[in-house]
Amino acid sequence: MRIFRYIILLALSLALFAACDETKEPLWNPDWDNNVPEKPVDPENPGDDEGNKPEVKTGKARLVWIDAAANFKDYANSEKNIADDMARLKETGFTGVIVEVRPTTAGLLFKSDVEGPVTQVDAWVTGAYKWLKRTESFDYLQAFIDAGKKVGLDVYAAINTMVGGKECPYGLGSDGPLFDGTAKREWATVVNTSEGLKSCMDMGTGTKFLNPANDEVVEYLLGILEDLAAYDVKGIILDRCRYDDNDLQSDFSEVSRQKFEEFIGKKVENWPDDIFSPGQNSLDNYVTAMQRDWMTFRAKNIHDFMEKASARVHSVNPDIRFGAYVGAWYSSYYYSGVNWASPDYNARNAYNWATADYNQYGYADHCDIMIIGAYASTKSIYGNSEWTMQGFCKRAQTIFAGDVPFIGGPDIGNSTGFENGGQGALMPDIVDACINASTEGMFFFDLCHIKMYDYWDDIKKAFDQYLETL
C-alpha cells in the first residue's frame, strides 16, 4: 500500500511540473558554473550581454539653496545632520547643493585669514529673533563637501558678498566687521536720505552693506574669495553682489563722488542733488542724462568687481565654476546697481534708464554659471513675461545671449502663495516650467522650506516625472 501511495504522489508531481510554464528555466543549471562573470554585476544596471551598462538618464542639474541662518540650528553644530540631509537630498533626486558660508551678519563658515569665523547668527525661532550659537569647531564647508562626495552631490559655496554686518532687531545687538571698532566702518555705504546723507550704520536695524566703489572693500573681498577657492567645491556663487537695500539712494560717499566725476569727466556741482534729490528712490518719467550716467557708473563698479573676482578665483583653481545669484526681474534690477546681462544684450533698446554703453558693463561673460531667482507667485508658473517662473527663465535666455549657462527656480517660502505650505501638488509644474526654460537646470530656495513643509516626496515625484520625459 505504501508503494502504491508513493507511485501516485510521484505521478501527481510529474503532472504538476508538466503543467508549469515550460518557458521558464530551472532554478539552477550546471552549465552556469562555467559562465560566472569576472566582476560582480550591478543589480540596478545589469548591462547587456557584452557587459555594457545602459545609459543612465541624469538630466539637468537640480540644486537646493541652503541659507546659513535659516538652517543654522540644524547644521552649525552637527556633522551628522549635514550627512543625513545630504543623503536624503540625493535620494530625493537632487544633484547638488548651494551652501551659504558667509551669512548676512558676515563672518565665515570656512577657514580664512581675512575674516573671522561665524560664532552666532540671528534667526527667527518660535516667534522671535534669537541668537543661535555655534559651539562646535569642525569645518562647516568641509563637512558639506565630504558628505556630498560620499553620496554623489555637487557642492557649490555661496557668500553674501557686499555685506559687512548686521544691526539685529529685538535688541540683540550687532555683529560683523563693520562693527569691530576699526576703520572698516568707513567702508559702509552712504545713503541719500530725505534728511541728508547718512551712513547706513546710523539707520537702525538691518543688514549693513559695503561700498562697491571702495578699493579697500574690493581687496578685502577678493582675499576672502581666494581662501574660499582653495576648497574642493564645484563652484562659487556670489549673492548680494550689489548695492544695498536702499536701492537708488546708495552710494553717495565721497569715494563714489570722486570716482563718478572721473567716470563722466566733470564735476558734479550740487552733490547729490544734480543726480537725485534728497530721499528720491525712483525714476521720474523723464530720466536725465546724469541719472543714466549714474546707473551706468554703478553697474560698472559691480562689473569690475565681478571681473576681478572671477580672475582671483580662477587663479587659485581654474576649474571652479564662478558665478552669481541675481533676481530674475532684469527690468528693475538696475535699482540694485547690477547689469547681469551679456555685453551683447543692449538694454538701451528696451529701457530708458540705460545709456548707449550700459551694455559694456554686463558681466555674464565673466561667469561660468548663473543662478536666477524666478520668484513668481504660485498662480504664475507658466508664461512668457516677467513675474512668471517660466517667463523669468525664458527671458534670461535672451538676456544672457548664450554667454553663460544658468539655473532658475522658485522661492518656496515666499509670500506669494508658498508661505503656509501645502503646495506639494504644484511641484511637477514648477519643475517642468523652470528646468526646461533654463539652460542648465533648476534650484529650490530654500532647504529649510522643504523640511518645514515636508515637500520631500512631492519634489521626488516632480523630479521623477521630469526624468521620464528624457
Domain ranges of the chain: 58-164+189-200+209-468
DSSP secondary structure string for all residues of 253-266: SHHHHHHHHHHHTS
Angle between helices 456-468 and 79-92 (to 10 degrees): 40
- The confidence score (pLDDT) of residue 124 equals 83
What is the C-alpha separation between 119 and 322, in angstroms, rounded?
A: 27
State which amino acid sits at residue 391: G
- The confidence score (pLDDT) of residue 26 equals 31
Burial pattern 421-454, b for ≥16 Cβ within 10 A else e, equals eebbebbbbbbbbbbebbbbbbbbbbbbbbeebe
Q: For the chain, what's the residue count? A: 470
CB atoms within 10 A of CB 125: 12
CATH code reported for the domain at 58-164+189-200+209-468 = 3.20.20.80
Query: Strand 190-193 vs strand 321-327: parallel, antiparallel, or unpaired?
Result: unpaired
Contact 443, 63 (CB under 8 A): yes
Per-residue pLDDT of the chain (470 residues; tens, 9 = 90+): 433 333 433 343 433 333 333 333 332 333 333 333 333 344 444 455 455 655 667 999 999 999 999 999 999 999 999 999 999 999 999 999 999 999 999 999 999 999 999 999 998 888 888 999 999 999 999 999 999 999 999 999 999 999 999 999 989 999 999 999 999 999 999 999 999 999 999 999 999 999 999 999 999 999 999 999 999 999 999 999 999 999 999 999 999 999 999 999 999 999 999 999 999 999 999 999 999 999 999 999 999 999 999 999 999 999 999 999 999 999 999 999 999 999 999 999 999 999 999 999 999 999 999 999 999 999 999 999 999 999 999 999 999 999 999 999 999 999 999 999 999 999 999 999 999 999 999 999 999 999 999 999 999 999 999 999 99
Q: What does each C-alpha distance from 382 to 155, 358, 462 come to in angstroms? A: 29, 30, 16
Edge-first strand order for the sheet with 206-209 is 173-175, 163-168, 206-209
Query: Strand 206-209 vs strand 61-66: parallel, antiparallel, or unpaired?
Result: unpaired
Contact 229, 289 (CB under 8 A): no
Residues 6+ apart with CB under 8 A from 105: 69, 118, 120, 121, 122, 163, 165, 166, 168, 175, 176, 207
First CA to last CA distance, the chain? 67
Contact 55, 44 (CB under 8 A): no
- The confidence score (pLDDT) of residue 53 equals 58
Among 252, 400, 383, smallest CA distance to 326 is for: 400
CB atoms within 10 A of CB 233: 26
What is the C-alpha separation between 153 and 296, in angstroms, rounded?
A: 39
pTM of this prediction? 0.89
- The confidence score (pLDDT) of residue 39 equals 36
108 strand-pairing partners = 117
- The confidence score (pLDDT) of residue 384 equals 97
Place of cell 558676515: 106
Phi-psi region of 383 (alpha: psi -120 to 50; beta: other; left: phi over 0): left
How many helices (H) and strands (E) in the chain? 11, 15
